[in-house]
């Protein structure tokens, strides 16, 4: 019973409804997750670290209201996050480090009121961050080191009163900081 079979089993109606944490890290055969992931109402933590063939997340993941931690580090084929992810009001930690193909984090992700940390290190193709990131009143850590294509930071970022750690080393395309 491998990880791929587990992903297929999640697609069965009512399966894993009490699940709080799901770790499918280091499963290189996973290319996608089923839309039924959105039906796991109690899911608080989803780890897909180094699922190198993962190309997309289902928009239905935005229905996981309890989701607090999303770890996508090393999902190098992942190009974008679904805008519906912004509906996860409990999302506190977003890890997309080493997602080398990711070009942008959608604006909807900044709608997460509880978002406290974003790790986007080594996202070499990342060009932009959510324009409304400044509305994230709980954001305390933003790590974008080695994002070589990151051109600018959102104007409202200076309004993040809780921001205590801003890491931007080796962001060669970055020319200025917001006021």
Q: What is the pLDDT along the chain (179 residues), one digit of tens a residue?
A: 456 566 667 766 567 778 999 999 999 999 999 888 888 889 999 999 999 999 999 999 999 999 999 999 999 999 999 989 988 889 999 999 999 999 988 775 555 778 999 999 999 999 989 888 888 889 999 999 999 999 999 988 888 899 999 999 999 999 988 87
Residue-level pLDDT at 14: 64
Residue 94: closest CA among 112, 114, 117: 117
CA–CA–CA angle 158, 135, 43 (5° rounding): 130
Largest CA distance in the chain: 53
List, in sequence order, the alpha helices (H) in the chain.
3-10
Kindly provide the b/e burial profile for residues 12-30, where b requires at least 16 CB atoms within 10 angstroms of the residue's own CB.
eeeebeeeeebebbebeeb
Residue-level pLDDT at 1: 46
């Amino acid at each position: 019973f491998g990880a791929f079979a587990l992903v297929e089993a999640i697609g069965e109606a009512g399966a894993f409804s009490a699940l709080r944490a799901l770790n499918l890290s280091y499963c290189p055969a996973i290319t996608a997750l089923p839309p039924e992931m959105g039906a796991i109402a109690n899911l608080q933590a989803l780890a897909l670290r180094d699922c190198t063939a993962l190309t997309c997340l289902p928009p239905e993941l935005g229905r996981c209201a309890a989701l607090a931690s999303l770890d996508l580090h090393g999902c190098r084929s992942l190009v974008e996050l679904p805008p519906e992810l912004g509906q996860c009001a409990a999302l506190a930690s977003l890890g997309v480090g080493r997602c080398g193909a990711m070009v942008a984090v959608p604006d909807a992700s900044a709608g997460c009121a509880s978002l406290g940390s974003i790790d986007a290190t080594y996202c070499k193709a990342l060009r932009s961050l959510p324009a409304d990131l400044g509305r994230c009143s709980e954001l305390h850590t933003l790590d974008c080191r080695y994002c070589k294509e990151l051109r600018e930071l959102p104007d409202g970022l200076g309004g993040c009163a809780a921001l205590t750690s801003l890491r931007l080393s080796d962001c060669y395309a970055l020319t200025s900081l917001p006021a």
